[in-house]
Amino acid sequence: MKKFRTVAIFTYPAEAQVMKGKLESEGISVFLRNEYTIAAEPFASNAMGGIKMDVYLEDFIKANAIVEQSDPDFTQTMTVSIKCPNCGKRSVREQHDVNSAKGVVETLRAALYSIIPFIDHKNYKCMNCTTEFDLNE
């Protein structure tokens, strides 16, 4: 069973649809919660906590980067963003994501981690201070 993570929360359905289109054009599956209820009753948005944009856990970092890149001011409304536990920066990448790997060494390492998942390794790496960590630490 795949897990989801909320990337962003929107007040209006139109905002959510624009970002959904942007993410889907990058190959990321997006699921909007509360969209239809809030579209039918806009005043319910605050009471319901807004329209929640969820993506699969493995797409979270890529989706987070796209949202930040498209509108840096929007990051204030992000519900979850991964920060490095060492330096506090948000320049974190998933270690076994072949698509975001830079260079031959990172690509081979990402492929190895995805092929042999039982190798003991950390899932995330800070590109600022090179700290490797897991989210549950």
Q: Which domains does the chain have, with CATH numbers?
A: 4-77 (3.30.70), 92-133 (no CATH)
Model confidence pLDDT, tens digit, residues 96-117? 555 556 677 777 776 776 666 5
The amino acid at residue 74 is F
Instruction: Answer whether 130's CB lies under 8 Å from 93's CB.
Output: no
**Residue (of 81, 107, 104) closest to 95 by Cα position:** 107
The pLDDT tens digits of the residues spanning 7-29 come to: 888 888 998 999 999 999 999 99
Angle of the 60-70 helix axis to the 13-25 helix axis, nearest 10:
120
User: What's the full length of the chain, in residues?
Assistant: 137
C-alpha angle with apex 19: 13 to 23, nearest 5 degrees?
A: 135
The owner of tokens 């970092």 is: 61
DSSP for 56-107, written as a single string: EGGGHHHHHHHHHHH-GGGGGG-S-----TTT--S-EEETT-GGG--HHHHH
- What's the pLDDT at 27? 94
Q: Do residues 4 and 56 lie in contact, with contact meaning Cβ atoms separated by under 8 Å?
A: yes
* Per-residue pLDDT at 109: 73
List all residues 6 or more positions away from 69 whose beta carbon is below 8 Å from its beta carbon. none
Q: pTM of the predicted model, to two decimals?
A: 0.54
Q: Which pLDDT score is estimated for 81?
A: 57
